[in-house]
A and B are shown apart, each in its own frame.
Chain A
Amino acid sequence: MIETWLPVAILMTSLGVAPVILMIPDGARTLRTTVNLAAASVKVCLVGWLAWQVARGTDFEARLPVAPGLDLVLQADALSVLFLALSAVLWFLTTIYAVGYLEGGTDRSRFFGFFSLCVAATVGIAMSGNLFTFLIFFEVLTLATWPLVVHRGSAEAHRAGRIYLAYTLGGGLALTLGTIWLYALAGDVTFTPQGTLGNLPAEHPVTLRIIFLLLIAGVGVKAALVPLHGWLPISMVAPAPVSALLHAVAVVKAGAFGIMRIVYDVFGVETTQALGLAMPLAAAAAVTIIWGSLRALTQDDLKKRLAYSTVSQVSYITLGVALISPVAAIGGLAHLIHQGIMKITLFLAAGNFAEGQGVKKVSQMDGMGRLMPGATLAFTVGALGMIGVPPLAGFVSKWYLAAGGLDAQAPLVIALLAGSSLMNAAYFLPILHRAWFRPPPETPAPRLRRIGWMLAVPPAITAGLILAAGLLANAPFSPLGWTRFIVSLEYI
C-alpha cells in the first residue's frame, strides 16, 4: 500500500498547499509563514523516508489513466530521489530566506502560492514515470515560474517575462512534438534503465535522430545549452529567492534531469552511442561550458555573472551524461547536487549584499568582507567550491568527470575541465580579492536594512553543506555515494 500513496503525498505537500497559500490574504504573514515552513519540513521528512525505502529496494508507483495508452505515472527510483532530495532541502532553506527577503513587499500570497507550485512541478518532474508525465510537469513548471519572473510588475520584469515565455514555450512545443512522435512510433514510453526503444532504432534510425534532436532541444532550453540559454541572464531581474532557487536549482536542473532521463531511460546509453548522438551532445556541452565562462568574465552585474556561470556549470552535468562512461556519469550526477548547493549559496549571498548594502555590481564589492563578514564568507566558500578547490564539493565532481574523460578515451575533456576551472578562477577570484583585501569605500552606503537571521542563516547552512559534501564524500548517504548507487543500476 505504501508504494502508491508516498509519491502522491510528497507531490501533494506542495501542490495541495499552493491554492491554500493563494487564498490567504496578504496581511496574514504568520499564518502564511507557518503553512509554508510546515509544508517544507513535512516534505523533507517524507523525502528522507522515501530515500531510505528506495535504498532498501522497495519500488513505488502511482498510476492515473488519462487516455487509452496514456497514463500519468509517479514512481520513485534512485535517480528521482537524488533530484527530490536536492529540491526538497533547498526549497526549505529558500522559503526561510524568501520570507525574510520579501518583508513588507506586496502580493506575497501570490508569490508563495506560485513558489510552492514551482516546487510541486519540480517534484513531479523528478518522480515522473513516463515521458508523458514528464512533459506535463515540465510545462506546468514553465507556467508556474512565469508569474515569479514578472513578480515585480515593472516594465523590465515584463520584458524579461516575455522573453522567458518565448524561450520556454518554444522549447515546450519542440518537446511536445518529439514526445507525441515517439509515442506514435513506440506506444507508451515508460522510463526503464538501459532505455525502452527495443528494436526501433534499427527500423527508423533517421526518425529517431530527429526525435532525439527535438527532445534535447525542448529540454535544452531549460538546461541552458548555448543557443537556447538567452533567457537565463535576462530573467535575473526576478527577486533574489526566485533567481536563487529557480534559475540556479529547480528550472535549470529540471533541464539537466530531462537530458539524463532521455539519454539513460528512454534511448538508453548503447542506443545513443549507436545512433552517434553522444558526440554532438558532448560537443554542445563543451561549447556551452566555454561560452558561459567567457561571457561571465565580462559581466559587471554580480547576478548576471553568476547566471552565466550557471550556464557553463550545468553543462558539466550534460558533459558527464554525454561521455559514455560510468565514472563520468558519477561525476555528472554528483555535480547535479554539488552545483546546486554551491550556486544557491552564491545567489543567497548576492541577495544579502543587494539587500544589506545595495551592492549589485562587482565593482562595488570593495571591503565587503568587513561590512558583511558572514555573507562574504559563505560567498567565498561557494566560489572556491565552484573553482574546484580540493576539500570542497566542486573538486569531487570535477575529479570524477576528468577520470570519466580518461576512461572514455577523450583526453580533450581534461583540457576542457582544466581550462574552465581556470576561467572560473578568473571571474570569481577578483570578487573575493575586492571583498577581502580592499578597504571599504570612505562614504559607506547607508545600511539599507538590518540582515535578520532569516537572511543570514540559509547561506551559512548551504556553505556548511558544500563542506560536508566535499569532506564526507565517501559516506553512503552522501551525494557521491548515492550517485554510485544510481550508476550501478544504469550501467550493469
Chain B
Amino acid sequence: MIVFDLMLAAAILVAGWSALSAPDRTGAIAGFLVFGLLVALSWVRLDAPDVALAEAAIGSGLTGALMLRAAGRMAPPAADRVPRAQRAAAALLACGLAGGLAVAVMDLPGATIVYDPLVRADLGQSGVSNPVTAVLLNFRAWDTLLEMAVLLAALVLVAALGPRGTPRPARLGPLYTPFLRIMAPLSVLVAGHLLWLGATAPGGAFQAGAVLCGGLLALYFGGALRPAAVPAGPLWALCAAGVAVFAAAALAAEVLTGTLLAYPDGADKIWILAIEGGLTVSIGATLLLLFTGLRQGGARA
C-alpha cells in the first residue's frame, strides 16, 4: 500500500504544480479539478471520509465551477512581470518554509492524544453517533455558527460590489431537459439522504448543501431557475436562514439551559437535525447566489 500512497502523493504534487503554472486559464482550472479529486482520494486513504466528501463536492466541484465562470469573464492572463530578485526571494522563502515544515513534521513527538478520549466520553450525550458531526454541531458549534457568518459576509461583499450584468446562460439544446428531469429531483433526494445520514455516518449539512447547490445550478443552466427575476428580499432571507436558525437556537438554548448553545438534554438530536436542515438550505442558496450574483436588498431590478 505504501507504493500507492507514494504514487498518489506524487500525482497530487504534479497536479498542483500544473494547476499553478499552466499558461492558459482553462488548463489551470482543469489541473486544479484533477488536483482536488486526487486530494479527496488522499483523505480517504487517511480515514477521513467526511473531509473527502466535502473536498470533492465543494473543494474541487463548486470551486471549479466558480472559477470556470469567472475565467470566462476575465481578461486574458497577463504575463508574469515579477522581477528576478523577487522571484529568487520568493523561491528561497518557499523552500525555507517547506523545509522547516518537513523538519517539524519529521521529528513530531508521538502524537499527544488530547481530544480523542474527550470526544469518546462526551459522544454519548451529543445526540449523534458520527463524531465529526458531533464536533461540528455540538462541541464546537460556535465555530460552525461563525463559519456560516463567513459565508454570509462573502455574499454581502459580492452584493455590495454591485451588479455585473449576469448573462443569460447559453441554450443547451434538446437533450439537456430530460437530463434535468432526472438529475434535479435526484440531487434533492441525495442531499436529504446525506443530511439524515450525517448523524450516524460520514455526511452532514455541508456536503448535503453542496449537492443541493449542484442540483440548483443544473436547474439554473436549464433556464428553469432565474434568481434575477425573484425580488431580492426573500432570496436574502433564504441565504440568511442558516445563520438565523443557528443564532435563534443558540439564544433559545441559553434561555432554556442557561449556557449558550447547550441543547436541552435528550433533545440534542432533534435540535441538531433542525439546525442542519436550515444550514443545508441556506448553504445551497448562498453558494448558488455566489455563482449567479445578487442585487442588494431594496435595489430595484
Indicate yes or no for A touching B, C-beta below 8 A.
no
Q: Which B residues have a C-beta under 8 Å from some C-beta of A?
A: none
Q: Which A residues have a C-beta under 8 Å from some C-beta of B?
A: none
